């Protein structure tokens, strides 16, 4: 998983509440277990018409937001079903950070497993960053995970809180499996000790 340290780039404004996972990646695209290739279907029904052509009025179809790496969104982002394809599609499109007043719990957790930083801020601060995002290239944001702050175009900063363990995992580029493998030596030592102490439980080791 790619490390998340400092991210600078265009932020796309999506001032919609209750954006659910079916809006993020519709159900017909859930057949694959590959994490790549889903970006072209991100927000498919909002981005494309029935013939597959882009809808000109959707923000991610407009320059410069089609190059966005940050999404500033409304309350309860990622609600609905628990499909992990939703963060897969966002990451494949290039979105590495989502800023919103709140997230659905499962979606929030899935983001950390896929290298995406979900930032929870009060509505008033989200509104300020939404205004920055509407400026396009002139409103680029910098998200600094190590210092837990977002730097605005005018030089001011907005701080954010994050669970220390999740922060450390993103900084190192580790999902839950990677975090477990960091303790591989301790796991092996424990298993060897258990095999000696209770050999009847470890027939394959004897």
Give per-residue pLDDT as tens, 39-67. Answer: 999 999 999 999 999 999 999 999 999 99
- Quick one: pLDDT at residue 196? 76
Q: CA end-to-end span of the chain, whole Å? A: 37
Give per-residue pLDDT as tens, 2-48. Answer: 899 999 999 999 999 999 999 999 999 988 887 789 999 999 999 99
Q: Check pLDDT > 90 for residue 144.
A: yes
Q: Tell me the HSE value of 40 on the side-chain side, using a 13 A CA sphere.
A: 4
* Band of residue 202 on the pLDDT scale cut at 50, 70, 90: confident
Going edge to edge, which strands form the sheet with 117-120?
11-14, 70-73, 97-100, 117-120
How many DSSP H helices and E strands does the chain contain? Answer: 8, 8
Distance CA 5, CA 107 (A): 21
Q: What is the pTM of this model?
A: 0.87
């Amino acid at each position: 998983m790619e490390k998340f340290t400092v991210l600078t780039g265009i932020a796309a404004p999506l001032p919609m509440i209750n954006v659910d996972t079916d809006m993020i990646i519709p159900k017909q695209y859930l057949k694959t277990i590959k994490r790549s290739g889903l970006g072209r279907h991100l927000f498919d029904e909002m981005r494309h018409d029935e013939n597959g052509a882009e809808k000109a009025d959707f923000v991610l179809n407009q320059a410069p937001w089609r190059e966005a790496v940050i999404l500033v969104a409304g309350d309860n982002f990622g609600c609905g079903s628990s499909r992990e394809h939703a963060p897969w599609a966002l990451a494949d499109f290039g979105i590495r950070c989502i800023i919103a007043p709140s997230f659905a719990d499962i979606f929030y957790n899935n983001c950390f497993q896929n290298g995406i930083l979900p930032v929870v801020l009060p509505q008033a601060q989200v509104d300020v960053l939404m205004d920055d995002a509407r400026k396009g290239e002139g409103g680029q944001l910098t998200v600094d995970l190590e210092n837990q702050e977002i730097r605005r175009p005018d030089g001011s900063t907005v701080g954010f809180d994050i669970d220390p363990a999740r922060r450390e995992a993103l900084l190192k580029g580790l999902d839950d499996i990677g975090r477990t493998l960091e303790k591989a030596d301790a796991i092996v030592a424990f298993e060897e000790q258990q095999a000696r102490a209770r050999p009847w439980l470890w027939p394959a080791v004897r």
